[in-house]
Amino acid sequence: MSPRARSAAPTASTPTVASSALEARDRADDRRVLLFTAGVLLTAFAIGSTLQTIFIYRPERVATSELIAEAPQLPDRLMTNLVTVAIALLLAAFVRLEERRPLAAAGAVLAIALPVALARHGLQLLLGIYVAPELDVSLVEVCSVAVVIAVALGLALAQVRTRVRLREHERAEAEHRLRASTALAELAAEEMRVRREVADGLHGTLQGRLVLSQAAIDAIQRRGVEEGWSEAALAQLAGLRRDLERMREHDVRELSNLLYPVGVDVSLAHAIRALVRRVPAEIDITAEVDPEADLALDRGDDAVAQRIAVVRGIEEGITNALRHGAATTIRVMVGVSDVDGAGAPRVRATVEDDGVGLPDSPRWNGLARTSERLGLRGGRVELAPSSLGGARLEVEVAAPVRS
Amino acid sequence: MSAEPAIRVILVEDQALFRSLLSDLVRAEPGFELVAAAAGIAEARALAADAEADVVLLDIELPDGNGFQFGRELRRARPGLGVVLLSSHDLMELLLALPDRERAGWSYLSKVSSTSRETLLRALRVSARGASMLDPELLGRLRPRRGSALAGLTPRQLHALRLLAEGLSNAAIARDMGISNHSVDNLLNAVYSTLGVRDDGDLNSRVAAALHLVRDGAPGGAGA
């Protein structure tokens, strides 16, 4: 009869070294719990029953002097009971009780309890605790001890089973969370890769072609001037060149930036500087980025996506300060907030402005998108009045824990 | 008397036409030597390992990574190497990401401004000797941001700062502005003072002042 191999989710693949080690650790842990629980129960019973036998359950009231006279029996009785406990525990460990199926375990419990109870009674006879007892006395003694051992082992087994169920449930939950998180990370990485590729294509290939087209138009313009083309034709060419320039400098750049903010692959601070520089000169805007915040988002597979989330949040704050708040002064501050209980720093960005303040009914559709985007990354966004007189947008994301 | 040693150039540009044009330009110019030309970072890294160079002419948007980051990597291995960045856009704020001790020797040129052959060669020379030069046309478009220290400069001071950022020496600024060298000194001292740059006579004070222009200047104004 071989012990049942415990495996919550047997797989067709060969178990890895790590999973084998984990299973071995689980088995050792289960055995410890079984032996500890059964040991505590049986030892408590052993001590209690010894004291009860001598001092409490007496057929008649006895004098203190008689109790003292019987006290020398105490060590023998206690030793007998403790030896019984040790034998029961040794047998339970030997047959790997905790690894057996319920029916087999029940059989094993009985197979342990009866012989151990018999052995105990034999020991009692040997030590003279009982001298030629009657059969019914021996039967009561053996049966009651067998029941106690069976109950103690049964309770210990129940404790082990409960722990195993809890552990398997927790592991299944953790695996589920890990799978979901891995799938999300892979999806995010793929999205980043595609965004980057498209942005690079816009920046590089398309931009390059537009530049060459502009150069070609320049050459045609020069030829036109030399050959005396009409003013209208030259003006048309100049207009076409302006359109290309606007498309290249503004449209393509904005599109590329929407996909992948400028400088976000370099650092958070750089992406924010690039963002702030684009704000018209008439706006008094400053950005202060704590190097610690830059450092918090400088590594890890998710770093660029985290930076993008922060930059988008700041962009939302600036856009709304200008569009809805008519602000003339904007202050951007980025730092690392208090470390939370898990030891992970949180990068916090605030955008404050001196505009008209919070709208009566929020029309910031972008805010909902920003909130959703940040929520997926364990972050948040909050809109509140600013000490500058306008609105204060606060954006926060959890940074990866640094080893 | 021996001639000045040639400035050795590494070129990294992914667009074949640009790479070919730039290679021809550098090769044809007396006093310059093209030691390697690569289409991407991986190729450049391999070529640069065996090539002694004074300056690298580096496109920022490369297919296998960011040219700016690669420039920093090269500089860590060769602190004396000059770096001239090239881009289709005004990404001059990239230079603000450099720590103070690394700022010398970096220049920035736009591919699509009126960058001429002379401007490009000047940027290579300036960076090779550890100074900096920023794209003149992009600088001309910058407008001081309201509320910044840059907005506190007079038009003359701003003009002098632009020329400084273009990599011009004090004598060249004096010639351009039609004033004496001494007046240029005074003008630049006033600029340093307004911007809070310490004039310690070090090359870095000029670089720091030029970067103020990048940080507090909003692009998009009319060309100068």
Could you read off the pLDDT of B71-80 as tens digits, one per residue? 999 999 998 8
Q: Does B115 touch chain A (CB under 8 A)?
A: no
Check B145 against A281: CB less than 8 A apart.
yes
Q: Nearest by CB to A284, which of B143, B147, B215?
A: B147
B133 CB-near residues (< 8 Å, 6+ apart): B84, B107, B108, B109, B122, B123, B126, B127, B165, B166, B167
A368-390 residues labelled b (16+ CB within 10 A) or e (exposed): eebbebbeebebbbebeebebeb
Contacts of A279 in chain B (CB under 8 A): 218
Q: Assess whether B69 and B147 both reside in one domain.
A: no
| Closest chain B residue to the Cα of A213, Cα to Cα | B112
- Residue B126 located in a structural domain: yes
- Residue B105 in any domain: the answer is yes
In a domain, B1, yes or no: no
Task: Give per-residue pLDDT as tens, A283-342.
Answer: 999 999 998 888 888 776 677 888 888 998 898 899 888 888 888 999 999 998 865 555
By CA distance, what is B69's nearest residue in A? A266
Interchain CB distance below 8 Å, A285 and B15:
no
B127 and B146 inside one domain: no
**B124 and B162 together in one domain:** no
pLDDT band, very low/low/confident/very high, at A67 (cuts 50, 70, 90): low
CATH code where residue B29 lies: 3.40.50.2300
Asked if the structure places residue B2 within a domain, the reply is: no
Tell whether B71 is within 8 A of chain A (Cβ). Answer: no
Q: Per the CB < 8 Å rule, is A286 touching B17?
A: no
Rounded distance, CA A209 to CA A140, Å? 101
B21 touches chain A (CB under 8 A): no
Domain shared by B114 and B17, yes or no: yes
Together in a domain, B41 and B122: yes
**Based on the domain organization, do B23 and B124 belong to the same domain?**
yes
> What is the share, in percent, of chain A residues with pLDDT greater than 90?
28
Q: Beta strand B82-87 with B106-110: parallel, antiparallel or unpaired?
A: parallel
Instruction: Pick A268-398's CATH classification: 1.10.10.410, 3.50.50.60, 3.30.70.20, 3.30.565.10.
Output: 3.30.565.10
Minimal CA separation from A278 to chain B, in Å? 7
Read off the pLDDT of each residue in A106-123 and give the average, rounded to a whole number.
Answer: 91
Do B199 and B103 share a structural domain? no
The span from the CA of A153 to the CA of A91, in Å, is 11
Number of domains in chain B: 2
Please tell me the distance in Å from A296's CA to the nearest CA on chain B: 16
Q: Find the CATH number of the domain harbouring B147.
A: 1.10.10.10
A208-250 per-position pLDDT tens digit: 778 778 888 888 988 999 999 999 999 999 999 888 888 877 7
Nearby residues of A402 by Cβ (< 8 Å), 6 or more positions away: A296, A299
Section A13-31 average pLDDT: 78
Q: Which domain holds residue B86?
A: 7-133
Nearest to B94 among A200, A211, A266 (CB): A266
Same domain (yes/no): B37, B125: yes
pLDDT at B222 (0 to 100): 45
pLDDT in tens, A86-95: 999 999 999 9
pLDDT at B19: 92
Is A203 in contact with B61 (Cβ distance < 8 A)? yes
Instruction: Please check whether residues B123 and B156 belong to one and the same domain.
Output: no
By the CB < 8 Å criterion, does A207 face chain B?
yes
Indicate whether B62 belongs to any domain.
Answer: yes
List the 238-277 stretch of A: residues with Cβ below 8 A of B. Answer: 248-249, 253, 262-263, 265-267, 269-270, 273-274, 277
Residue A396 and residue A380 in contact, taking contact as beta carbons nearer than 8 Å: yes
Domain assignment of residue B204, yes or no:
yes
Of B79, B111, B133, the position where a domain reaches its end is: B133
| Model pLDDT, residue B10 | 96
Q: Rounded to whole angstroms, how far apart are CA atoms A41 and A62?
A: 30
The pTM score is 0.60
Q: A262: nearest CA in chain B?
A: B91
Cross-strand partners of A351: A332, A393
Task: Give the amino acid at B124.
Answer: L
In a mutational test of the A interface, the residue from B18, B22, B59, B61 whose CB has the highest number of chain A CBs within 10 Å is B61
| Whether B68 contacts chain A with CB within 8 A | yes
Q: Answer with the one of B108, B133, B158 that is the final residue of a domain.
A: B133
Among B96, B118, B133, the domain boundary falls at B133
B18 found inside a domain: yes
